[in-house]
């Protein structure tokens, strides 16, 4: 096991950060709706992939991939609000929401396969070709965009929750909804807002997926485990949590792959996770 | 009761074992085997996660451990298949217990963190198996392992094995639900800290449930290894097992031992209903839609709703228990103050992240007295109660109760010494009925009564506190006054010699306060010693023999109520220093 | 007299048509159908390739019924979805055999599912023709017949094929990197590649294995770039090769030559960075493969059906070709043995080769596998098309291995 060169280390570190950013972007909406609304939205992944496929389709029709957000974000926002309305209307508990959203996942997955078949799809875009050189290291534009989006959204939500009235009202709802309502917070409207946002974030994650990855409907489940881990590790409802935790996981795996047989990577990242859980008094 | 159930199980077992002899095509036996297989996985998962609320996302790890144990022993060590099954179960159980022994000691690892930990364990195990000679990549092929001819054909053999395991699992789950272990687990589900303080040995119980759950999953894995005969890491440790057991349990209803079995059968059947090649994709969407509709309209799960409907019908028939039976007197006779203090705190200190809640508190409680503990907010009164009852450990100092040092005891043992407390904001077990709430301390307290007697005891105390008519209601249906009395009934049910009451009177109306005062006098008349923390001065004056005043974690006055309340230090603590 | 000629011609034509219709060889198949049962991964992670096999099967059965069916009887294909799961495959094959009581069974898609089907076949003494079984060492049933052209020792034959092609090129590589997934059917062949490279005196500069669920190929790409191999052997399954190429391009690296073991051929063609990628195949859409009229007809139908099914790439290549060959095998065996009895079919196959569109298939080796030689060729992605470049007899006209 020869010591890797600095370039290799640096490149691997970057790779880990970027994939961690994607974990974070995928996990943001999930963390918010789980932490604040007590709804475990499995369908978040299916939504993200739906967004990715829609981006792929629209880009294929000539639209600039980033511009597709203008279409996707509002549509997904509406979808998310609708989902929440459905769950609230039936007073679905946290665990039951797992089942409902699993059903939704199956439906969305079937829809994707029906429209786009199970074959792999890769979006070709101008962004995919661009890369920057920083010394001996390379940074590809799609990855950079993913990191930028993840950072921007996480920080924006964090600022919103901390500094605006609606944000604080949202945190109040998360802690104790009836009391918040007693204080004049419009729980219903804010919950719909948050659900819509979560789904919209799924759409943005979809753009990131389409920019950097090859798509297949079966891939929906490939991200489930690791993103759930990032969400839980980062603390439910903590907007910076999934990003930080995602990067920790991504970097630990990437560095393992740089030093030794890549097949050991999940062992390192998840053992690290276990150690962190056992040792630290709180969460990240 | 148990005899009848056992007979029913045996009858079902015998009847179902006859299926292979009906000459059905092998497919049905294999299909039924798969249903039974998932029943085992879902019911076993539910033993820990459904009953106690410790949601495990790692059932796949233990299933996989069992699968690989059987595969390895059978192919590499030539162990006969049937002998590998107990090994698979033991390996998985040992793994689970080892994990639980560490994890359950850490109180912050609950809820989603426990789920995360168990998920992480799955990934870790999968990677180790993939990269070591256990598997190393190519997978393990069991085609050469002879299958014992238990049934007339291989598929019927699997069916019978699956049947045996499923019946055993269902029986175990049923027995647990009806036992002290089950009651304890359900209490842990609602409020683990309170359960511990009431005497439930939470650590041991969780470990037992986890071990059983993992062991059963391991055996199921062993049988499955033989069924699919080619064991690979990808198939074994996929997200399918942990995800499906959750879905099945929620779909069927996770509060009852039979619920997950119903869910397992429904989901497996759905899977096969839509396998025709023509509409495969639409079939998957249909399955998703069905799952959604079922859980939206049957939120307690299919079986859960059924049980709920049956219970509601039964409730209207149950006669109301009246207050005829006076409760038995407590161990000590009707009291007068004695020389030897019942409870003694010496040099008690406790700090929370820099805030010194209690500082060198010395206190004694004499047998048979009613001691009032007063002081402004933040003076440490509730902390003192929490320390004595075992919620927290003191940083320094000793707490002697009838001569024994409570600080050295595990929390659940303190309940057995004859000490009970109520909570300022009532913390009943939300999903247990009022009766079950009160029965629990009787089961786990000093007398450790069996189920039936605990129920009788509970009824008496409910009658004593005027809640007899509410025995089968859920705590959520009670108003604040009733919930406070429920707290009292629960504290009394363990027949304590020392009762710690934390702000029983707060939030009550004038009339309700009179009621409560009468009740407390009645309790003392039976020989209990009472310490109560209170702000309602009227109650303090009327009830207490002595009071102790705390301020900023220190005792600043002690003695006769009226005299103490007139002391200038006490007035200053409450109202601030007077300006000249 | 034109009018009289016309009527004579008309009568003559009618008589001819009648005569033809009466001829037994050209009669439509009749009688109780021959029912052939199988499962395919129509949903789940393997669904992309499962669809290919579904289309091929449908084409073949339709063509059979258009001609003479099997032994004069119409053919019915009973197809079920095994959702890419081996435990489902096993139970569904049991259903096909014991409940649907099909006459014959065909293999499903991919190694684990075929193994499940093989177990069922063994229990009920059914012959099993399959196409995509990747671990021949596990096939220990005498009535199973691989129709995919793979040898019994692919860890020998495929690396030998590839390295022979490289050695015959203008600039044979001197250093090699082997990167592979740990997926069972891929891993052992990649290990064979390491052995082969060592035996030929090539220097191994990197050997990396990844866990098949891996998403991040960045570090692996970085390590390859560091090692600067002349040739990279990519033991990837499906998506993985594409992900690796993506990752390499992101750091501005492309190895001079790279070979992919079981790629998704269409996406690899179109992927930027996929130029000059090498892969293995039994069939491509150019001569000499298209010298076979049956192949030509199949290609035409596959283009048509593939487009209708929404496949992004409708060209016939390895998967569709070996699928077609497995049906050809079945038809030849049933016709040759003049029976749908499994034992008779098995006996016939062991004694008779079948000329399928992928080449001559034989089963006269241990457990019906041939060792040391297979029907695979090396192809290269040249300007967006797959072109066979080795062995020379099968290369497209004028094609040879292109090195950048």
ipTM of the complex: 0.89
Which chain A positions have a beta carbon within 8 Å of B121's beta carbon? 270, 274
Per-residue confidence (pLDDT) for residue A12, from 0 to 100: 93
Per-residue confidence (pLDDT) for residue A282, from 0 to 100: 54
Per-residue confidence (pLDDT) for residue A284, from 0 to 100: 42
Which chain A positions have a beta carbon within 8 Å of C225's beta carbon? 11
Burial C283-319 (b: 16+ CB within 10 A, else e): bbbbeebeebeebeebbebbeebbeeeebbebbbbbb
Per-residue confidence (pLDDT) for residue B237, from 0 to 100: 92
Which of the two residues, C246 and A280, has the higher pLDDT score? C246
Which chain A positions have a beta carbon within 8 Å of B243's beta carbon? 102
Q: How far is B275 from chain C (nearest CA, A)?
A: 5
The whole-angstrom separation of Cα A208 and Cα A212 is 6
Comparing CA positions, the residue from B401, B439, B444 lying closest to residue B419 is B401
CB contact, 8 Å: A265 with chain C? yes
Which chain A positions have a beta carbon within 8 Å of C238's beta carbon? 120
* Reported confidence tier of residue B375, pLDDT bands at 50, 70, 90: confident
- Judged against a pLDDT cut of 60, whether residue C57 lies above it is answered with yes
Whether residues C87 and B34 touch (CB distance < 8 A) is answered with yes
C29 phi/psi in degrees, rounded to 5: -65, 145
Mean pLDDT of A178-192: 86
CB contact, 8 Å: A143 with chain C? yes
- pLDDT averaged over every residue in chain C: 90
Element containing residue A134 per DSSP (H, E): strand A131-134
Residue C98 in contact with residue B26, Cβ under 8 Å? Answer: yes
Q: How far is A136 from chain B (nearest CA, A)?
A: 33
**DSSP-assigned letters across all residues of C298-362:** HHHHHHHHHHHHT-S-----HHHHHHHHHHHHHHHHHHHHTS--HHHHHHHHHH--EEETTEEE-
* Reported confidence tier of residue A19, pLDDT bands at 50, 70, 90: very high
* Reported confidence tier of residue B435, pLDDT bands at 50, 70, 90: very high
CB contact, 8 Å: C274 with chain A? no
Which chain C positions have a beta carbon within 8 Å of A7's beta carbon? 222, 226
Q: Which residues contact C358 (CB under 8 A, 6 or more apart)?
A: C148, C149, C282, C283, C321, C322, C325, C375
Pick from C43, C78, C94: CB nearest B280:
C43
Shortest CA distance from C47: residue in chain A: A118
* Reported confidence tier of residue A29, pLDDT bands at 50, 70, 90: very high
Dihedral sign for Cα atoms in the order B347, B353, B355, B357: negative
Shortest CA distance from A127: residue in chain C: C250
* Reported confidence tier of residue B578, pLDDT bands at 50, 70, 90: low
Three-class SS string for C102-155? CCEEECCCCHHHHHHHHHHHHHHCCCEEECCCCCHHHCCCCCEEECCCCCCCHH
Inter-CA distances, C42 with B81, B244, B279, C268, Å: 34, 20, 9, 22
Per-residue confidence (pLDDT) for residue C4, from 0 to 100: 53
The whole-angstrom separation of Cα B244 and Cα B248 is 6
Pick from C48, C215, C252: CB nearest A131:
C252
B72-114: per-residue pLDDT in tens? Answer: 999 999 999 999 999 999 999 999 999 999 999 888 888 878 9
A198-207: per-residue pLDDT in tens? Answer: 999 999 999 9
Per-residue confidence (pLDDT) for residue B538, from 0 to 100: 81
Given a contact as 3+ CB pairs under 8 Å, which chains touch A? B, C
Comparing CA positions, the residue from A241, B282, B302, A215 lying closest to residue C243 is A215
Inter-CA distances, A211 with A60, B35, B122, Å: 12, 42, 31
Residue A202 in contact with residue A44, Cβ under 8 Å? Answer: yes
Place of tokens 């030849």: C332
Residue A229 in contact with residue B116, Cβ under 8 Å? Answer: yes
Mean pLDDT of C76-94: 93
Alpha carbon B530 to chain centroid distance? 29
Dihedral sign for Cα atoms in the order B319, B322, B326, B330: positive
CB contact, 8 Å: C119 with chain B? yes
- pLDDT averaged over every residue in chain B: 87
CB contact, 8 Å: A18 with chain B? no
Place of tokens 């002290």: B180
Per-residue confidence (pLDDT) for residue B440, from 0 to 100: 92
Per-residue confidence (pLDDT) for residue C8, from 0 to 100: 60
Inter-CA distances, C159 with B407, C243, C376, Å: 71, 22, 11
Mean pLDDT of A216-226: 87
Highest mean pLDDT among B97-101, B301-305, B526-530: B97-101
Structure token pair of residue B312: 């509601």
Per-residue confidence (pLDDT) for residue B100, from 0 to 100: 94
Per-residue confidence (pLDDT) for residue C130, from 0 to 100: 96
C59-78: per-residue pLDDT in tens? Answer: 999 999 999 899 999 999 99
Per-residue confidence (pLDDT) for residue B322, from 0 to 100: 47
Inter-CA distances, A16 with A19, A23, A246, B122, C211, Å: 5, 10, 9, 22, 16
Which chain B positions have a beta carbon within 8 Å of A83's beta carbon? none
B436-476: per-residue pLDDT in tens? Answer: 999 999 999 888 888 888 989 899 999 888 888 888 889 99
Per-residue confidence (pLDDT) for residue B429, from 0 to 100: 94
Pick from A100, A265, A274: CB nearest B120:
A274
Across-strand partners of C279?
Answer: C260, C379
Whether residues B228 and C213 touch (CB distance < 8 A) is answered with no
Which chain C positions have a beta carbon within 8 Å of A223's beta carbon? 215
- Judged against a pLDDT cut of 60, whether residue A21 lies above it is answered with yes
* Reported confidence tier of residue C124, pLDDT bands at 50, 70, 90: very high
Instruction: Count interface pairs A-C at CB distance under 8 A.
Output: 138
* C185: helix, strand or coil: helix
B312-343: per-residue pLDDT in tens? Answer: 776 544 444 444 444 554 444 444 445 578 88
The whole-angstrom separation of Cα C128 and Cα C113 is 12
Per-residue confidence (pLDDT) for residue C17, from 0 to 100: 52
Residue C104 in contact with residue C143, Cβ under 8 Å? Answer: no
Q: How far is C389 from chain B (nearest CA, A)?
A: 31
CB contact, 8 Å: A208 with chain C? no
Per-residue confidence (pLDDT) for residue B524, from 0 to 100: 85
Per-residue confidence (pLDDT) for residue B348, from 0 to 100: 86
Per-residue confidence (pLDDT) for residue C89, from 0 to 100: 93
Pick from C43, C211, C226: CB nearest A8:
C226
Mean pLDDT of B264-286: 85
Structure token pair of residue A225: 């485990």
CB contact, 8 Å: B284 with chain C? yes
Q: Which residues contact A62 (CB under 8 A, 6 or more apart)?
A: none
Per-residue confidence (pLDDT) for residue C96, from 0 to 100: 95
Whether residues A263 and C48 touch (CB distance < 8 A) is answered with no
Establish how many alpha carbons lie within 13 A of residue B280's alpha carbon, considering only the half-sphere containing its beta carbon.
22
C126-149: per-residue pLDDT in tens? Answer: 999 999 999 999 999 999 999 999
A117-159: per-residue pLDDT in tens? Answer: 888 888 888 888 888 998 889 999 999 999 999 999 999 999 9
pTM for the full predicted model: 0.89
Per-residue confidence (pLDDT) for residue B320, from 0 to 100: 47
Whether residues B234 and C188 touch (CB distance < 8 A) is answered with no
Count of positions (residues) in chain C: 404
Which chain B positions have a beta carbon within 8 Å of C187's beta carbon? 137-138
Which chain C positions have a beta carbon within 8 Å of B154's beta carbon? 123
Q: How far is A168 from chain B (nearest CA, A)?
A: 24
Whether residues A274 and B128 touch (CB distance < 8 A) is answered with no
Across-strand partners of B531?
Answer: B371, B500
- Judged against a pLDDT cut of 70, whether residue A283 lies above it is answered with no
* Reported confidence tier of residue C20, pLDDT bands at 50, 70, 90: low
Residue B283 in contact with residue B275, Cβ under 8 Å? Answer: yes
């Amino acid at each position: 096991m020869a010591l890797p060169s600095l370039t290799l280390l640096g490149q691997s570190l970057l790779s880990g950060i970027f994939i961690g950013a994607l974990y974070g972007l995928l996990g943001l909406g999930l963390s918010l709706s789980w932490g604040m609304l007590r709804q475990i939205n499995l369908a978040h992944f299916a939504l993200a992939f739906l967004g990715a496929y829609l981006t792929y389709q629209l880009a294929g029709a000539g639209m600039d991939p980033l511009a597709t957000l203008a279409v996707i974000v509002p549509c997904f926002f509406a979808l998310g609000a609708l989902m929440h309305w459905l769950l609230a209307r039936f007073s679905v508990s946290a665990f039951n929401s797992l089942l409902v959203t699993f059903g939704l996942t199956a439906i969305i997955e079937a829809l994707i396969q029906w429209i786009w078949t199970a074959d792999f799809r890769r979006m070709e875009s101008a962004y995919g070709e661009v890369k920057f050189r920083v010394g001996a290291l390379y940074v590809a534009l799609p990855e950079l965009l993913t990191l930028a989006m993840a950072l921007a959204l996480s920080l924006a939500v964090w600022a919103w929750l901390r500094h605006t009235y609606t944000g604080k009202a949202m945190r109040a709802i998360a802690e104790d909804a009836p009391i918040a309502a007693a204080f004049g917070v419009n729980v219903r409207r804010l919950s719909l807002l948050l659900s819509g946002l979560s789904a919209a974030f799924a759409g943005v994650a979809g753009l990131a997926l389409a920019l950097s990855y090859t798509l297949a409907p079966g891939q929906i489940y490939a991200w489930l485990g690791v993103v759930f881990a990032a969400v839980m590790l980062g603390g439910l409802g903590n907007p910076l949590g999934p990003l930080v935790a995602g990067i920790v996981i991504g970097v630990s795996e990437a560095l393992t792959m740089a030093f030794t047989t890549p097949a050991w990577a999940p062992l390192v990242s998840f053992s690290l996770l276990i150690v962190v859980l056992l040792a630290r008094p709180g969460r990240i | 009761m148990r005899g009848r159930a056992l007979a029913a199980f045996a009858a079902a077992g015998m009847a179902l074992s006859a299926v292979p002899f009906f000459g059905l095509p092998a497919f049905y036996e294999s299909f039924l085997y798969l249903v039974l297989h998932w029943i085992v996985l879902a019911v076993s998962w539910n033993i820990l996660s459904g009953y106690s609320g410790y949601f495990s996302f790692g059932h796949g790890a233990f299933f996989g451990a069992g699968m690989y144990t059987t595969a390895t022993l059978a192919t590499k060590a030539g162990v006969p298949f049937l002998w590998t099954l107990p090994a698979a179960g033991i390996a998985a159980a040992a793994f689970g217990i080892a994990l639980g022994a560490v994890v359950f000691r850490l109180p912050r690892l609950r809820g989603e963190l426990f789920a995360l930990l168990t998920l992480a364990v799955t990934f870790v195990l999968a990677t180790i198996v993939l990269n070591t000679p256990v598997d190393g990549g190519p997978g393990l092929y069991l085609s050469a392992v002879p299958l014992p001819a238990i049934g007339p054909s291989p598929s019927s053999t699997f069916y019978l094995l699956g049947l045996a395991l499923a019946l055993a699992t269902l029986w175990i789950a049923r027995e647990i639900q009806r036992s002290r272990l089950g009651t304890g687990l359900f209490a842990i589900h609602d409020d683990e800290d309170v359960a511990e303080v009431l005497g439930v040995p939470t650590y041991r119980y969780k470990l037992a449930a986890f071990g059983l759950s993992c062991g059963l999953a391991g055996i199921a894995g062993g049988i499955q290894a033989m069924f699919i005969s080619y064991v690979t890491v990808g198939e074994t440790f996929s997200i399918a097992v942990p995800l499906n057991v959750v879905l099945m349990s929620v779909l069927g209803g996770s509060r009852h031992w039979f619920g997950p079995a119903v869910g397992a059968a429904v989901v497996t059947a759905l899977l096969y209903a839509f396998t025709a090649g023509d509409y495969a994709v639409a079939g998957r969407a249909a399955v998703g839609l069905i799952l959604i509709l079922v859980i939206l309209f049957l939120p307690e799960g299919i079986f859960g709703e059924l049980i709920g409907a049956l219970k509601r019908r039964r409730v209207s028939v149950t006669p109301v228990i009246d207050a005829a039976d006076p409760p038995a007197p407590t161990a000590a006779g009707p009291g007068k103050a004695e020389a030897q203090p019942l409870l003694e705190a010496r040099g008690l200190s406790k700090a929370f992240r820099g805030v010194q809640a209690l500082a060198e508190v010395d206190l004694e409680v004499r047998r048979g007295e009613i001691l009032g503990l007063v002081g402004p907010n933040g003076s440490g009164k509730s902390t003192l109660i929490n320390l004595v009852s075992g919620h927290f450990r003191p940083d320094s100092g000793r707490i002697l109760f009838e001569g024994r040092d409570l600080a050295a005891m595990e929390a659940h043992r303190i309940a057995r010494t004859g000490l009970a407390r109520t909570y300022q904001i009532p913390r009943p077990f939300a999903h247990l009925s009022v009766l079950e709430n009160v029965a629990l301390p009787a089961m786990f307290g000093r007398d450790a009564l069996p189920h039936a007697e605990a129920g009788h005891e509970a009824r008496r105390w409910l009658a004593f506190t005027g809640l007899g008519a509410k025995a089968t209601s859920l705590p959520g249906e009670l108003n604040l006054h009733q919930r406070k009395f429920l707290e009292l009934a629960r504290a009394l049910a363990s027949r304590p010699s020392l009762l710690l009451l934390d702000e029983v009177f707060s939030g009550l109306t004038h009339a309700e306060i009179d009621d409560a005062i009468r009740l407390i006098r009645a309790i003392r008349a039976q020989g209990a010693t009472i310490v109560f923390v209170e702000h309602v001065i009227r109650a303090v004056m009327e009830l207490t023999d002595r009071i102790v005043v705390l301020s900023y974690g220190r005792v600043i006055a002690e003695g006769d109520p009226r005299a103490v309340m007139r002391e200038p230090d006490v007035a200053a603590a409450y109202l601030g220093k007077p300006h000249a | 007299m034109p009018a009289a000629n016309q009527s004579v011609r008309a009568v003559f034509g009618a008589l001819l048509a009648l005569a033809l219709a009466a001829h037994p060889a050209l009669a439509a198949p009749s009688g109780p159908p021959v029912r052939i049962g199988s499962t395919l991964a129509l949903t789940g992670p393997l669904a992309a390739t499962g669809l290919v096999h579904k289309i091929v099967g449908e084409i073949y059965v339709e063509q059979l019924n258009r001609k003479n069916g099997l032994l004069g009887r119409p053919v019915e294909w009973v197809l079920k979805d095994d959702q890419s799961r081996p435990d489902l495959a096993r139970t569904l094959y049991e259903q096909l055999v014991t409940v649907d009581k099909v006459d014959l069974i065909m293999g499903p898609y991919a190694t684990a599912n075929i193994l499940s089907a093989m177990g069922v076949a063994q229990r009920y003494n059914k012959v099993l023709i399959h196409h995509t079984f990747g671990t021949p060492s596990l096939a220990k049933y005498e009535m199973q017949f691989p129709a995919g052209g793979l040898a019994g020792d692919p860890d020998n034959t495929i690396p030998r094929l590839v390295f022979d092609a490289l050695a015959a090129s203008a600039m044979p590589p001197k250093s090699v990197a082997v990167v592979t997934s740990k997926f069972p059917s891929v891993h052992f062949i990649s290990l064979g590649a390491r052995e082969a490279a060592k035996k030929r005196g090539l220097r191994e500069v990197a050997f990396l294995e990844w866990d098949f669920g891996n998403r991040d190929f960045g570090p692996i790409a970085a390590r390859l770039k560091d090692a600067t191999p002349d040739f990279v052997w990519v033991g990837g399954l499906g998506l993985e090769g594409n992900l690796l190429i993506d990752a390499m391009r992101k750091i501005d690296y492309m190895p001079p030559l790279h070979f992919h073991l079981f790629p998704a051929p269409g996406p690899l063609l179109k992927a930027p960075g996929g130029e000059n990628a090498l892969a293995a195949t039994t069939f491509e859409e150019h001569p000499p493969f298209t010298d076979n009229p049956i192949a030509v007809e199949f290609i035409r139908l596959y283009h048509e059906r593939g487009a209708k099914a929404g496949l992004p790439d409708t060209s016939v290549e390895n998967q569709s070709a070996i699928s077609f060959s497995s049906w050809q095998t079945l038809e030849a065996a049933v016709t040759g043995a003049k029976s749908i009895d499994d034992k008779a079919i098995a006996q016939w196959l062991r004694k008779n080769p079948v000329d399928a569109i992928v080449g001559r298939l034989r089963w006269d080796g241990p457990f019906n596998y041939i060792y040391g030689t297979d029907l695979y060729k090396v192809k290269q992605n040249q300007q967006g098309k797959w072109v066979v470049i080795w062995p020379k007899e099968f290369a497209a006209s004028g094609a040879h291995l292109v090195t950048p």
